[in-house]
Amino acid sequence: MVRPYRGVFILTIVLTVVLAPLAVLRPKLVQVMVDDYISVGDVNGMTLVACGILGILILEVVLRYFFLYHADWLGQVVLRDLRTRVFRHLLNLRLTYFDKTPIGQSTTRTINDIESINTVFSEGSVTILSDLISIAAVLTVMLTTSWKLTLVVLSVFPLLIWGSYQFKESVRKSYEKVRNHVATMNAFLQERISGMRIVQLFNAEQREADKFKKINHDYTGANLKSIMAYAIFFPVVDLISALSLGLMVWYGARGVLSEEVTLGAMVAFPMYINMLYRPIRMLADKFNNLQMGMIAAERVFGLLNKEQVAPNNGHLHPEKLNGAVSFEDVSFSYNEDTPVLKKVGFEIAPGETMAIVGSTGSGKSTIINLLGRFYEIDAGVIRVDGVDIREYDVFALRRRVAVVLQDVFLFSGTVLENITLRDSQISESAVIEASKLIGAHSFIERLPGGYHYQVMERGATLSMGQRQLISFVRALVFNPDILILDEATSSIDPETESVIQYAIEQLISKRTSIIIAHRLSTIRHAKQILVLEKGEVVERGSHDQLMLAPSGRYRELYEHQFNMETLAD
């Protein structure tokens, strides 16, 4: 992560090494000033040393500014690159990862955990190294000044080491719980806010509020435990520091009287004690931050190391496809124990329309996921234009295939941006032309701002039919060679259905199309209809052919649906 910025990293290490002994020079010069100049009344010498102390102080301030700035800068740019890397990785993960992983967990990895890694740079490895060098430098100067006085000061050190260890362990456990609760809270909020309509429709507000109250209470409890550790540790360190200073004054005063300790050492040692205990006071906390940063890094790199990325070993980059599609004994299962497709086979000629029908769970939507290589098949071969789809570059293949889903997802942004998906190669005039062809131009023009109307998240301010029309325009402007419609009319009212049906006819014109249909009356024009049942092809043929079978599954489905619509009327 740091390799592209190793120059800045080396600079922070150099500044760390320089700053530690530089800080120790100030109390040492104070000692020299007291012993060599103040005690003999040498005003000029005292002034010269005071100027030296001031110069060192200014130099230390400047160097510390550069140290802190570059350490934080390094942390931020590394985080920036890591966020981009994680998001790019998420974009390329198979759908199986998103099927099994809560959205809130991925959000936590991308935002909270990556932010925690920043502590490795701002409060972690570099600053800990700086503190350790500073402590070593202070101890060295103290021992050379008066080893006896130093031992007296260090006599309470075991208490400090023990207290720091207890504090570190206590806070580490609390932080781990805090991180886990943050992930749980993010996942809970993501799901409930996304599904707020369901929560309110079923009067579940109070139940969900109670659940969140419990999660929030646990999260607060974990934070309070870490606060308690801080509230105990810092006063204890102050008490040990004061005890150390008291012992130093008690022994040092006797040393001054017996001339074993100089007056300058007595003046400098309180400064040394402050410089010794201040980094130790923060060292345990920094070790915790470093440890939590490493835990967060482990989680983030665990995500990056996930091998659920769709393999992309294909070398073909077609500019255009003829659109011939064939499934040859294709079998697939999401879980090893539950096969979804069992040796499914069919062929679609270029420009032909095939409809797929079947009961819920029969494997209809799975077929389109496999054609787009969102999942890898277990057995068999899928070919496009006679070529195994694994021979195509994944992204090149998907550019020639468009899918219109039943549940249309719209992003926050303008209607134009939702149609083009911010592809700069698609002009507004091309979008308008496609909208007119589909029959969506009139309704878009009536929106405030027209094509620049701001769509709310998930298209909440638009009707289902309007969202569906936008998705049709989106599919058309990308000019696909193969079009897939996944139950695109199942949630549309009869009045809107005629508009949608016209849009479908324009979309499927002169291109290979696969229509997964809920309303069987909308697919009578299909060249062939594939009937699936429990992952197997049970019937295949045109509408008229399938209706001739006296006990066929398609006829059974069609007549059942026709009777239901008749009763509804």
Q: In this predicted structure, what is the pLDDT of residue 122?
A: 64
**With the CA atoms of 140, 146, 147 and 150 taken in that order, what torsion angle do they form, in degrees rounded to the nearest 10?**
-80
3-state secondary structure 554-569: HHHHHHHHHHHHHHHC
Task: Categorize the per-residue pLDDT at 331 as very low, low, confident or very high, splitting at 50, 70 and 90.
Answer: very high
Angstrom distance (rounded) from CA 558 to CA 567: 14
Report whether pLDDT(568) > 60. Answer: no
| Residue keyed to tokens 């009777």 | 563
Supply the mean pLDDT for the chain. 81
Task: Tell me how far apart the alpha carbons of residues 280 and 283 are, in angstroms, rounded to a whole number.
Answer: 5
202 is written with which tokens?
Answer: 């079923």
> Is 371 contained in some domain?
yes
> 362 and 287, same structural domain?
no
- The lowest-confidence range among 92-96, 209-213, 431-435, 437-441 is 92-96
Mean pLDDT across 19-26: 81
- Rounded mean pLDDT, 517-539: 82
* SS3 (DSSP) at 207: helix
pLDDT of 118 higher than 60: yes
Please count the structural domains in the chain.
2
pLDDT reported for residue 284: 65
How confident is the model at residue 380, as a pLDDT? 92
Please report which helix (H) or strand (E) contains residue 512, including its range: strand 512-516
Q: What would the mean pLDDT of 31-57 be, rounded to a whole number?
A: 84
Give the residues across from 325 on adjacent strands: 348, 384
Residue 318 lies in a domain: no
The mean pLDDT of 491-513, rounded to a whole number, is 69
Both tokens of 232, joined, read: 């105990």
Q: Are residues 559 and 472 in the same domain?
A: yes
| pLDDT at residue 456 tops 80 | no
At residue 517, φ and ψ (nearest 5 deg) are -120, 140
Q: Residue 326: which of 292, 295, 349 has the closest Cα?
A: 349
Highest-confidence segment of 79-83, 327-331, 411-415: 327-331
- Identify residue 489 by its one-letter amino acid code: T
If asked whether residues 273 and 350 sit together in one domain, one would say no
Q: Is the pLDDT of residue 179 over 60?
A: yes
**pLDDT classification of 488: cutoffs 50, 70, 90:** low
Domain CATH for 74? 1.20.1560.10
User: Is residue 495's pLDDT more than 60?
Assistant: no
Our CA dihedral for 425, 426, 429, 432, rounded to 10 degrees, sits at 180
Q: Are residues 416 and 493 in the same domain?
A: yes
- Asked if residue 22 is part of any domain, the answer here is yes
Judging by DSSP bridges, how do beta strands 482-486 and 512-516 pair with one another? parallel
Q: Is the pLDDT of residue 283 over 60?
A: yes
Q: Give the range of the structural domain holding residue 195, as residue numbers without chain letter.
A: 3-304
Q: What is the pLDDT of residues 385-399, one digit of tens each?
A: 999 999 999 888 888
* 327 domain-assigned: no
pLDDT tens for each residue of 133-157: 888 888 888 888 888 888 888 888 7
Class of residue 488 by CB neighbours under 10 A (exposed 0-12, middle 13-18, buried 19+): buried
- The distance in angstroms from the start CA to the end CA of the chain is 65
pLDDT on residue 385: 92
pLDDT at 134: 82
Residues 42-61 have a mean pLDDT of 87
Q: Are residues 463 and 396 in the same domain?
A: yes
pLDDT at 550 over 80: no
Task: Give the 3-state secondary structure of 114-155.
Answer: HHHHHHHHHHHHHHHHHHHHHHHHHHHHHHHHCHHHHHHHHC
* pLDDT attached to residue 285: 66
Return the percentage of the chain with pLDDT > 90, whole number.
6
Residue 125 half-sphere exposure toward CB, CA atoms < 13 A = 12
Q: Which residue has the higher pLDDT, 104 or 394?
A: 394
Domain boundary among 304, 322, 357: 304
Picking from 320-334, 355-369, 469-483, 553-567, which range would have the lowest pLDDT averaged per residue?
A: 553-567
Provide the CATH number for the domain around residue 513: 3.40.50.300
**The pLDDT of residue 387:** 92
Q: How many degrees, rounded to 5, is the angle at CA 40 between CA 37 and CA 41?
A: 80
Same domain, 289 and 363: no
C-alpha count within 13 angstroms, C-beta hemisphere, residue 15: 21
Continuous H helices in 157-313: 157-194, 196-201, 205-257, 263-304
Over residues 161-187, the mean pLDDT reads 78
Q: Which residue has the higher pLDDT, 335 or 285?
A: 335
Q: Which of 286, 304, 322 is the last residue of a domain?
A: 304
* Stretch among 216-230, 323-337, 479-493 having the lowest mean pLDDT: 479-493
* Higher per-residue pLDDT: 524 or 149: 149
Percent of the chain with pLDDT over 70: 90
Beta carbons within 8 Å of 5's beta carbon, 6+ residues apart: 74, 77, 78
**pLDDT above 90: residue 326:** yes
> What whole-number distance in Å separates Cα of residue 120 and Cα of residue 300?
14
342: left (phi over 0), alpha (psi -120 to 50) or beta: beta
Give the pLDDT of residue 497. Answer: 62
List C-alpha distances in Å: 507 to 400, 401, 456, 468, 480.
14, 12, 26, 13, 9
Q: Specify whether 42 is located in the same domain as 178.
A: yes
177: tokens are: 């719980």
Question: Does any domain span residue 310?
Answer: no
Which has more confidence, 57 or 89? 57
Other Cβ atoms closer than 10 A to 296: 23
Q: How far apart are CA 41 and CA 90, in angstroms?
A: 72
How much is the pLDDT for 327? Answer: 93
Q: What is the pLDDT of residues 247-262, one digit of tens each?
A: 888 888 877 777 777 8
Whether residue 360 sits in one domain with residue 267: no
In a domain, 411, yes or no: yes
H-assigned helices in 346-400: 364-371, 394-399
Which phi and psi angles does 528 have, rounded to 5°?
-140, 150
Distance (Å, whole) CA 434 – CA 473? 6
Same domain membership, residue 368 and residue 290 = no
* CA distance readout (Å), 137 to 126, 133, 270, 367, 449: 16, 6, 15, 69, 68
- Contact by Cβ (8 Å): 116, 296: yes
* Domain annotation covers residue 321: no
| Reported confidence tier of residue 562, pLDDT bands at 50, 70, 90 | low
**Partners of 482 in the β-ladder:** 401, 512
Torsion of CA 408, 476, 431, 404, to 10 degrees: 0
How far apart (Å, rounded) are the C-alpha atoms in residues 470 and 451?
A: 10
Between helix 125-145 and helix 263-304 the angle, nearest 10°, is: 160
39: tokens are 């005690």
Q: Note whether 281 and 337 are same-domain residues.
A: no
Beta-bridge partners for 536: 533
* Least confident segment among 25-34, 276-285, 365-374: 276-285
The alpha carbon torsion through 132, 136, 138, 141 (nearest 10 deg) reads: -170
User: 37: which DSSP letter?
Assistant: I
Instruction: Report pLDDT for 310.
Output: 66
300 & 415 share domain: no
What is residue 325's predicted lDDT score, i.e. its pLDDT? Answer: 92
The answer to whether residues 340 and 241 belong to one domain is no
Q: Is 60 among the domain residues? A: yes
For 58, 95, 473, 479, 480, the CA distances from 398, given in Å and listed in that order, are 61, 15, 17, 12, 9
Considering only residues 261 and 356, tell me which one the structure prediction assigns the higher pLDDT: 356
